[in-house]
Structures are given as C-alpha cells and as structure tokens.
Chain A
Amino acid sequence: MSSLRNSISDTLVLARRSLLRIPRAPDLLLSFTVQPIMFVLLFVYVFGGAISTPGFEYVDFLIPGIIIQTMSFGGFVTALGLSEDLKKGLVDRFRSLPMSRAAVLAGRTLADIATNAISLAVMIAVGFIAGFSFDAPFAHVIAGLGLALLFGYAFSWVFAFVGLSSSSPEASQSFGFILIFPLTFMSSAFVPVDSMPGVLEAFAEINPFTTTVDAMRALFLGTPAGNDIWGAVAWSVGIAAVFASLSVARYKRAISR
C-alpha cells in the first residue's frame, strides 16, 4: 500500500504548492472575493427588480444559483496553473519524477476546494447583507454547502482537462468561460426555467446546473427536493469521474511547450 501512501503524499505536496500561490500572487484572490461580491450585488440590485420569481424574494432565489455558478468557475485556477506548468516546463519535470501520475492534477483540484470555500463564505456574507436568509434546518444548510463544494470540485476536473488541452493560459481561461458560461445561464440559476422559450426550457430542465441549483434551493430554502439532491450528487460524481480519467490520460502524454 506504499504506492497509495505515496500518491496521497504527492497530492498533498502539490496542493500545498497551489495554495502557497494565493497569498504570494494575490491578484488571483480578486476572483474569489471581489468577483462574487460584484455578481451578487449586480444581480440583486440591477436585474433583480425585473425578474419575477413567484414565491421567492429574488435574493433568496438568486443566492443558491449564483453560488453554483461561482463554484463552477472556481476551477479556472487549475486550468491556469496547469497551462502555466506546461508552458514553463514544470510538467516535464513532474513527469520525469517517480511520483503519482494523478498527483499534479489531484493536488490542484484539491486546492480549489479551499479557494472555493473562501468564495462561498464571501457570497453568503454578502447575501446576508442584501437580505438573504436560510429557511431550512442547520444540517440541510451544511449539506448544501457540501454540495456546492462537490459541484465545484467536479468542475475543477473539467478545467484540468481544459488546461491540459489548450495552447496557453489565456486560451485555457477563455475556453473555460465559453464552455461554462452559457450552461449557467440556460439553467434555473438566475431565472425560473418556465419563463424560457420551449426549446430552451427543455434544455434547462436536463441541464446539471438546474438540477444542482434546485437541490441547493431545497437545502437552503426548504423547497420540495424531488430527486434533485441525489441527481445533483450523481452529476457531480459523474462529471468528476469522466473528466478525471480524461485529464489523467492527457497528462500522461502531456509535453511542455
């Protein structure tokens, strides 16, 4: 079992490396703090008055949605970091070392959980200021926070794949945004899906963002959950599993540029 122990230790060494970057290159910190604040305020005060959400205050409707959107983008740090590692030759060094083939990716995605937790705390604090309140048992709220981080973790693996597949850090970032941005808007994150035209509504109904946002509303606001919670967990686990295997396969053949 020493190989499992080595894999875990390699992953932790690399997660630590990713986290050390945050205080040392604090520009990234803006994305985890200022950006979520900005989004919450813009949506609540700019769009909020124009969007009708029967049965909800808009801020209550919004917070679960904007949390899921922000979590799904948190992994961009992984894409950026991997893309830089490729560019600077670090991937060549790591691949020549007797270390776990998955550790570079697992370390980065693990570190994303920490940075996503920062964003999560910031968004909830700003939400409170804007009038958000939980309407569910404490255990459900905790489960909701866990689900948000799990969803973010799954998308870190999507970003890992994007980072290994794109030609530059800049490209990896815009590629990730082009991929994920429409998915977040064609979901129940910001507007009720039944306000959308037919085709879009049909898409939104099967969109994992809708399932996950609805699950979050169930856990935070006590709305009926249906199958959404298990559906959301299944989507997250599925996305993580598929993109982790794709990413590791790609990493094994990755060559610095």
Chain B
Amino acid sequence: MAADAAIETSGLRKAYGEVQALDGVDLTAPAGTVLALLGPNGAGKTTAVRILTTLLRPDSGSARVAGLDVVRDAAALRSQIGLAGQYAAVDENLTGAENLEMVGSLYHLPTGKPRRRAAELLEHFDLKEAADRLVRTYSGGMRRLLDLAAALVARPPVLFLDEPTTGLDPRSRLALWTTIEDRVAAGTTVLLTTQYLDEADRLADRISVIDRGQVIAEGTSDELKDQVGGERLEVTLEDGDQSQAAIAALEPLAAESPVLVNGAVRVQLRRRQGAIAEAVRLLDGAGVGIDDVAIHRPTLDDVFLILTGHSAEERAEEETVAAEA
C-alpha cells in the first residue's frame, strides 16, 4: 500500500443476503485529492462509503483510511473523518447552530470551540440568518448545506460525501462544489459518490466507475474519455434519406465506420485538425445537404454507456421501477 494514500481499499466484498453489494473493490485516493465513485443507484457506492466510515464491516478485503484500518482501528479512525450522507442527517427540532454545536461536542472539541466553529460554518454557508431557526423550517437545500457543515465541524482530514448534491438546486449545488474545492485546496482528502457525470468531471482528480459492486474503470476524467475513443464529428442532415450517401462520403475521415445515431451521422475522427472543413467538402462533393455539423468530446455519460452497455440515468430509472414494482 502506498504510504501517502489517504484512502486505500483492496478486494472489498460485502453481501446483503443474496445481493453482492461489493464484489472485490480496490480504490486509492492519495492525500489531498478527490476520488469520485461514479455509478448508478444500487451500484454499491453507499456500501463502500459505509465501510470506509466504520458503519459496516466488510465480509472480506481490507480498507485503510488516514493510515488506520477501518475495522481494527475504527474507534481511532472516527476522529479523522467527516461524513455527509445521502440524507440530510440533521435534527429538525434543533436550530442550525444547535445542530453544529452538538456535533462539535460529540467530536469532543475543547470547551467553547463548538460554538465558535458553528458560527464560522453558518457564516460560510450563508446560513447565518437562519442560525437560530429550527431546522424543520429550512428548505431541502439549506438542510444539505447544514449537513455538509456538520461533516466539516472538526476539520477532519478525510471527508466522505455520499451523493452530496442529489436534489439540490443549481445555486446550492455550486456553493457545495466551491466548499469542497476549498477544503481540498487546504489539504483535505475527499471521497465523493455521485450519479452526476458533470460533478465527477468538475471535482474529481480520479474517478472509479462502479457498477454492480465492481470497479469497471478507473482513471482521470480525460483517461476515461480516451478509453472510449477520441473526438467525434456529428453531422445532422437536411434530408434523412441521404444518410447512407453521407456515411459513404465521410468514410475517409473515420477511425471506424460512421454510424447513424438518432438521425445524425456520427464519425469517430482519425484526427481533429481540419475535420469540419474536410467533412463539409466531402459531403458537398457527394451532393448531401448539411443542417448542422459539430465536433464533440466524449462525455462521462458516453464513458458509462460504452463501459456498461447502459447509461447512468437509464439504470437509475430501472432501479426505481424495480423498487416500485
């Protein structure tokens, strides 16, 4: 195990009855970096977070956080971590300030410190006005911010955020992202789970794509996109009937045969330079009319689709339907 890894797991397995929630998961996050666990609902992200925050024992495999074993050193580890779970885990019948002071006291901060720290955090999260209001009057976004603030009370060196922005409005989401970036700049290590590809793209130094309890790809955002292939050209035609002619005409630009996706011709480019001009010239020569032409870098959604055969959202919907059925 690398000495400087703040989070390191090897072969983590956990089953709930018949369901293998984690099936041999290896993760690494060097100190001061953000690792994103990206995957649909039910992929095993929350189980991983629960094991790393000492809430669950793994069936097998090992995990160290901040140099401490999550099972043997669980008691010592708890003072080194902060957790913001999927729920806003705050007490509705306390005020915002009382919630944070309670958490500060339970981290055993020195006398007087919980109160000062609570005031600081409420100010930082723009909750100062609401500090003395009962949390049951807070909006969903305010509760999530308070929950994140609670995770930061003791300035833990390792932070676990389980889908921190699910259900947040864009403004709260941005505030939360900025805070996470500030904490990382100050040296905190963050493990973040998310279903949102843009969130992983923006925050994470490295991403582990997780599906059905296994890490199916790992790397930086760029590395993952490269695995899927480079840039692609998408041409929307004036007349859909000409798609075969367009596919034939664009063949010389393509790394593999162009395909028709949602009525547009998609070409994996051999090289980007001059591609648009060349495509226009080729299509013009073949007498094909163009409505729109654009170059796309692959998104993490493409990564997910190609690695798992289903898109992140699609799988999430399946899960919802299954849960309701």
* B and A form one assembly: yes
Knowing A24-B93, A92-B55 are in contact, say whether A9-B105 is a contact too (CB < 8 A): yes
* Cα–Cα distance between A88 and B146 once the two chains are bound (Å): 14
Chain A residues, CB < 8 A from B89: 88-90, 92-93, 256
Knowing A17-B91, A88-B87 are in contact, say whether A96-B78 is a contact too (CB < 8 A): yes
Chain B residues, CB < 8 A from A96: 53-55, 78, 81, 83
Contact B108 A256 (CB under 8 A): no
In the complex, how many angstroms separate the beta carbon of A4 from the nearest chain B beta carbon?
13
Chain B residues, CB < 8 A from A9: 105, 108
| Contact mask for chain B residues 73-101; partner A; CB cutoff 8 A; 1 contact, 0 none | 00100110101011111111110001000
Decide if B103 is an interface residue (CB 8 Å cutoff): yes
Knowing A96-B53, A96-B78, A98-B75 are in contact, say whether A256-B87 is a contact too (CB < 8 A): yes
Contact residues of A: prevailing secondary structure:
helix
* Candidates B91, B108, B150; contact of A98 at CB < 8 Å: B108
Contact A99 B55 (CB under 8 A): no
* Candidates A24, A98, A103, A256; contact of B79 at CB < 8 Å: A98
Closest residue to A90 on the B side, CB-wise?
Answer: B89
Knowing A89-B86, A255-B56 are in contact, say whether A97-B93 is a contact too (CB < 8 A): no
Contact B105 A255 (CB under 8 A): no
Contact B87 A97 (CB under 8 A): no
Contact A89 B85 (CB under 8 A): yes
Range of interface residues on chain A? 20 to 34
Contact A95 B54 (CB under 8 A): yes
Name which of A90, A92, A103 has the most chain B CB atoms within 10 A of its CB.
A92
Chain A residues, CB < 8 A from B150: 93
Closest residue to A21 on the B side, CB-wise?
Answer: B93
Chain A residues, CB < 8 A from B90: 90
In the complex, how many angstroms separate the beta carbon of B6 from the nearest chain A beta carbon?
16
Chain A residues, CB < 8 A from B85: 89, 92-93, 256
* Cα–Cα distance between A255 and B46 once the two chains are bound (Å): 11
* Candidates A25, A89, A94; contact of B87 at CB < 8 Å: A89
